[in-house]
Structure 1
């Protein structure tokens, strides 16, 4: 706001920060401020507010059609109506994606150039909010670069980014970066008690696990939360590996292979966290652990299997699986190989 009042507003701002830190909430609030907070902004349907975001190409779409954000604008507005905190997986669910990965393609840059070349309908700013610009493909990135180098008059680009290191350097150098820090655990704990009615002890556990993400904190409160599913898959993997039950480990790998790629990567991230938590649990220092009651109940008996002899190799094995999944390796092979490695690693003492 101060930049606007002092008439030194840059034409492109990139808000960076971890998931759940409030980047989109702040971006929407700033866009509303620039556009005048009128009634047209109630459902973010203002004619001078444009959105750009990763999309999938649904099965059966013509090969000639270049997907753009407008193809899913109704689903986007439905998600925004639920709140400004959301994940890529939630967005994929709104688009009814199967195993497709969403990206911002060349058609999107052509669409933005066409829209932003028009004059502002209200005589003020035109605002373009781009969610996850790091998912632009090469052709789109080069066209967006030209748009950022020679922006239309009175146009402001607001980029909401989680992995700025994946942006091409030329785009990165043409935006003003603002970093948002993780939300303090105390602030999340206080909000959970005051807004959600949690007991202080439960709120403290959830806040510590959330790691500065309000989105993660809300997810933990759901009875069918993803974390509970991931815990079940982790417990099953470790028990089957300890029993050396190859047949059931193969079934386990096939089940996980049925998840979408993004979910598989989050699952492996959760497994990495559980390896760390179980290793630290052996030191009997509660302040070093960040676990739910369910996770801690499992760790009471399991933690002794994670020790100095295997903790590094366990972590590296999981990280390798993450890289392989990120590079579109065959998921059944990756997870069955992971399961077999667990048999060997859990025997080390």
Structure 2
């Protein structure tokens, strides 16, 4: 009987995971099929105005934090430039060019992105060699992270960059005649990962553009780009999403805890979607977080080991998401401690005796940096396959000292 119940529970979890992924995949595919953009209406309108007036800059930089939808708008912009019969609102969505763009297979759209170091001499590690993985990821949604991309390539541990051979390929492709007789577009995702040689070669394409070409650079850390590139492109800043924008999107795809998840993710849509993939609601994470903080503070080793063991039996992605969830709650506690204008407890903890107002008394300027740094380091180690139980036990002990004393003892200092 117990075995049968366990099997049924496992089946329910598997079905929930499958239903969620189907929901996300079908929603994102239909979204791009309609050629619509969910966020940054102001920037979208400016692009449309310039397009209608024939004043689009040949090289543009879309910059802003991760998880804010700038790649989605870059894809829409590329589709607009390649559309054979654009409307007043954007690409038509039905011409042959739009149909190709829906599948991310348009011959006049070249994708460039960071790739792993070559595994063998015959592999040049060019973007074109990773297009199947790139298309698969885009068809899920356009809000994925660099870590998601590295995992999708199956080369997470390797070093990634945009190599000079990519710039050579860009120059060659832009010099050819357009397949469709219109524009040629190059979309460089995470352009800050260009090495210096690559950046200098791409700079030449920007300074001496071919006719009817558009180079779109999408990046999260614009300060890492060569100053000469930044000075020669039209820069467009995409701010972080508001929590309400993130919540509205989640509600539109049928998420029940949309407001709570958006608040915990602080408007980062990628992070919000990652929480959903954990197959446990954020309220369950809240329960675990409250329990974990209490045993860290009291340094109850039996409970610390129990929680570490519990997390070690879950997926790495769940544990990483739990730690990112913890980071956001701790930041929220710090803001509560610093500002009397901020009040009220997070709805994630409604019905619980855990109160952020009380917890915030343990989080202050003297220990916050250390706490956040230690959790960030734990996320890094877990993502690189370090034993979860060891990482979480060590982290719990470190957090105990930081909450109780504000500093780590000398023996634990790296």
Instruction: Verify the 8 A CA contact 1:105 1:136 in the aligned structure 2.
Output: yes
Relative distance call for 1:138 and 1:245 in structure 2 (3 A) is farther
Deviation at 1:128, TM superposition (A): 0.5
State how far apart, in whole Å, the 2-side matches of 1:227 and 1:297 are. 13
After TM superposition, the score normalised by the length of structure 1 is: 0.77
Deviation at 1:81, TM superposition (A): 1.6
Higher relative contact order (CA closer than 8 Å, sequence separation 6+): 1
**Aligned pair 1:93/2:148, yes or no?**
no
Deviation at 1:224, TM superposition (A): 2.8
Relative distance call for 1:119 and 1:230 in structure 2 (3 A) is farther
Relative distance call for 1:346 and 1:303 in structure 2 (3 A) is farther
Note the 1:26-65 alignment, pairs <5 A: 26-36=73-83, 37=91, 38-39=95-96, 40-57=100-117, 61-62=119-120, 65=123
Deviation at 1:26, TM superposition (A): 1.0
Deviation at 1:277, TM superposition (A): 2.7
Deviation at 1:62, TM superposition (A): 2.0
| Unaligned 5+ runs, structure 1 | none
Relative distance call for 1:267 and 1:119 in structure 2 (3 A) is farther
SS, match of residue 75 in structure 1:
helix
The counterpart of 1:205, out of the listed 256, 260, 265, is: 260
The counterpart of 1:274, out of the listed 313, 329, 332, is: 329
The counterpart of 1:185, out of the listed 228, 243, 250, is: 243
Deviation at 1:55, TM superposition (A): 1.5
State how far apart, in whole Å, the 2-side matches of 1:297 and 1:281 are. 18
The match for 2:403 is 346
State how far apart, in whole Å, the 2-side matches of 1:203 and 1:83 are. 17
The match for 2:365 is 312
Instruction: Verify the 8 A CA contact 1:210 1:217 in the aligned structure 2.
Output: yes
State how far apart, in whole Å, the 2-side matches of 1:295 and 1:141 are. 50
Relative distance call for 1:4 and 1:194 in structure 2 (3 A) is closer
The match for 2:175 is 117
The match for 2:165 is 107
The match for 2:215 is 157
Judge which range, 34-43 or 7-16, deviates more: 34-43
Deviation at 1:45, TM superposition (A): 0.8
The counterpart of 2:131, out of the listed 50, 73, 98, is: 73
SS, match of residue 361 in structure 2:
coil
SS, match of residue 307 in structure 1:
helix
Relative distance call for 1:155 and 1:65 in structure 2 (3 A) is same
SS, match of residue 117 in structure 2:
coil
Instruction: Verify the 8 A CA contact 2:327 2:375 in the aligned structure 1.
Output: no
State how far apart, in whole Å, the 2-side matches of 1:103 and 1:290 are. 42
State how far apart, in whole Å, the 1-side matches of 2:153 and 2:301 are. 38
Instruction: Verify the 8 A CA contact 2:266 2:328 in the aligned structure 1.
Output: no
The match for 1:239 is 295
SS, match of residue 62 in structure 1:
coil
Relative distance call for 1:167 and 1:229 in structure 2 (3 A) is farther
| Unaligned 5+ runs, structure 2 | 1-47, 84-90, 407-414
How many residues were matched structurally?
337
The counterpart of 2:185, out of the listed 92, 111, 127, is: 127
Relative distance call for 1:9 and 1:172 in structure 2 (3 A) is same
Provide Cα deviations, 1:38-59, integer angstroms capped at 9, x if missing partner.
322231211101000112236x
The match for 2:225 is 167
Instruction: Verify the 8 A CA contact 2:345 2:357 in the aligned structure 1.
Output: no
Deviation at 1:183, TM superposition (A): 3.3
Deviation at 1:193, TM superposition (A): 3.8
Relative distance call for 1:130 and 1:343 in structure 2 (3 A) is same
Instruction: Verify the 8 A CA contact 2:344 2:357 in the aligned structure 1.
Output: no
Relative distance call for 1:8 and 1:89 in structure 2 (3 A) is same
State how far apart, in whole Å, the 2-side matches of 1:318 and 1:346 are. 8
Instruction: Verify the 8 A CA contact 1:209 1:290 in the aligned structure 2.
Output: no
SS, match of residue 170 in structure 2:
helix
